[in-house]
Amino acid sequence: MELKPQGDWLEEIRRRGLRVVRVLSDGDCRYGLADDSTVTLISDEPFAAWEPEGALGLNTAELLTPAVPTKIVCVGINYRAHAKEMGHALPVEPVIFLKPPTAINSPHGQIVIPPGVGRVDYEAELAVVIGRRTHRASAEDAQHNVLGFTCANDVTARDLQKIDGQWTRAKGFDGFCPLGPWIDTDIEPDDLRIQSFVNGEPRQDARTSDMIFGAYELVSFISHVMTLVPGDVVLTGTPSGIGEIVAGDTVEVRIEGIGSLINTVVQG
């Protein structure tokens, strides 16, 4: 793949509609830019000035989580059907909470159920990855600051969520945020099909048009609370159909135009 950036590095990636990946190459974690067949390794993060440095086959590359965020900002109750499912009124503004960066898990990593934890649920979500520092931005400006989108699973210890009355412990275990397989820079987030499967059986099937607050609206809202920096991740909420996963299960999050995030579940 011929790749020689000119001008704005972020705009160059988006103009070409490339996927941003992180891969394991010769024992090192490297960023790359992928088309349908090839990963072009780059000299730095995609948010900085980079140069192409070698290539790998996309089908043979070992994919890592595509972003290394300083924070994962999550949104609760952001699909109309899910609000109804949970018995909640529609929120008048986004309900946000945080997962720690240590919750990040790779596209094919294991979801470990911690010892002593009861029910654990999957939650398929569209994730936004920030490309530029974003502070008190309008929704229009937020759109220009987004690098792209990927699949996420907001894994939740449901019993602990009910016991604690808040979400930090239930959502914050190591590996409770699988992310990937890559960041797609060339899709519109407003009406994508989002699905989840457990052992191949469909569990969730919705469209992002059912969101109460759209992706760029969420980035704008969050940026008025906290500054978002390159690599930060925003999870935009899950549709109806959440449910339990247990050791031995394989859970898949599939989003139209992006791809699939597939993880196995093991007992810790």
User: Are residue 24 and residue 113 in the same domain, yes or no?
Assistant: no
What's the gap between Cα 86 and its chain centre?
23
Structure tokens at 165: 């009355």
pLDDT value at 172 more than 70: yes
- Range of 52's domain? 9-64
Backbone conformation region of residue 57, classed left if phi is above 0, alpha if psi is from -120 to 50, else beta: beta
- CATH of residue 35's domain is 2.30.30
Q: Given this model, what pLDDT does residue 5 score? A: 56
In-domain check, residue 33: yes
User: Are residue 55 and residue 165 in the same domain, yes or no?
Assistant: no
User: Are residue 223 and residue 161 in the same domain, yes or no?
Assistant: yes
User: Are residue 165 and residue 200 in the same domain, yes or no?
Assistant: yes
User: Are residue 176 and residue 250 in the same domain, yes or no?
Assistant: yes
Mean pLDDT, range 235-255, rounded to an integer: 97
In-domain check, residue 187: yes
Separation CA 114–CA 250 (nearest Å): 17
User: What 3-state class would DSSP assign to 75?
Assistant: strand
In-domain check, residue 46: yes
User: Are residue 60 and residue 76 in the same domain, yes or no?
Assistant: no
In-domain check, residue 1: no
pLDDT value at 165 more than 90: no
Cβ-Cβ contacts under 8 Å for 246 (sequence gap 6 or more): 113, 120, 265
User: Are residue 13 and residue 84 in the same domain, yes or no?
Assistant: no
In this prediction, residue 48 has a pLDDT band, given cuts at 50, 70 and 90, of confident
Tens digits of residue pLDDT in 32-47: 999 889 999 998 888 8
User: Are residue 152 and residue 34 in the same domain, yes or no?
Assistant: no
Instruction: Say how many domains are in the chain.
Output: 2
Q: Token match 């309900």: residue?
A: 95
What integer best gives the mean pLDDT of the chain? 93
User: Are residue 59 and residue 20 in the same domain, yes or no?
Assistant: yes
In-domain check, residue 165: yes
Name the domain boundary from 64, 83, 111.
64
In-domain check, residue 79: yes
User: Are residue 47 and residue 164 in the same domain, yes or no?
Assistant: no
In-domain check, residue 127: yes
Name the domain boundary from 18, 46, 64.
64
In-domain check, residue 2: no
User: Are residue 30 and residue 96 in the same domain, yes or no?
Assistant: no
State the DSSP H helix or E strand holding residue 148, giving kind and residue range, or none if neither.
Answer: strand 146-153
Provide, rounded to the nearest whole percent, the portion of the chain with pLDDT above 90: 76
